Amino acid sequence: MGKSKKNQLTKHTSTEQSKSSFGRILTNRNFASDKPQGIQLASDSRTTARFKLSIEHVLENNYQFKDMRVEDIKNFSKFITSTVGRGLTITQVESSLLRTDGPHGAKNIEQVDGEKKEMYHFGQDRTKFRVHGYYNDEDYFVIHRIDPQHKKFK
């Protein structure tokens, strides 16, 4: 390597770039996009809004309180305690409990009282217990079905 080329390499190394052994230029600059990757499920207002539950209609057949066993009711109580009881935001609940591995991913479009709704389902990692519902205009999570044995969208 000639003396002038070696001086150039030394000069670049001391500032912001150097040549690797493969002839590629390496830099200390990151060209990654500043834009966040992934899908944001909640609007910006939901990142600070508290997670709240609502029941606005009769729950779906076979997924109602009358169909639940004592253990299922305890699991539902744990769900309420771990979300509403802890004062979590919608974003916090979605990041820890939103189930994304179903056949339709995190959201499922369903008809509820003649209207299309984006249905979400929440549950703990290794348990079968799931709560399905959608968000209303006031950012309440409206419970549509309680699925203690994970029979829906298994």
Same domain (yes/no): 94, 25: no
My answer on whether 69 and 128 are in the same domain is yes
Helix (H/G/I), strand (E/B), else coil: 123? coil
Question: How much is the mean pLDDT over the chain?
Answer: 76
Q: Tell me the one-letter amino acid at 88.
A: L
Identify each DSSP E strand in 29-125 by its residue range. 52-54, 107-112, 115-122
Mean pLDDT of 42-56: 81
Average confidence (pLDDT) over 20-29: 58
- pLDDT of the residue at 2: 55
| Global pTM value | 0.64
101-112 pLDDT, tens digit per residue, is: 766 556 777 788
How many domains does the chain fold into? 2
CATH number at residue 127: 3.30.2310
Q: Which long-range contacts (CB under 8 A, 24 or more apart) does 144-147 make?
A: 144/57, 144/59, 144/60, 144/63, 144/110, 144/112, 144/117, 144/119, 145/59, 145/60, 145/63, 146/59, 146/63, 146/64, 146/65, 146/68, 146/72, 146/76, 147/63, 147/121
- Are residues 11 and 70 located together in one domain of the fold? no
pLDDT tens sequence across 76-115? 999 999 999 999 999 999 998 987 776 655 677 778 888 8
| SS3 (DSSP) at 141 | strand
Residues 87 and 13 reside in one and the same domain: no
Structural domain range at position 15: 1-31
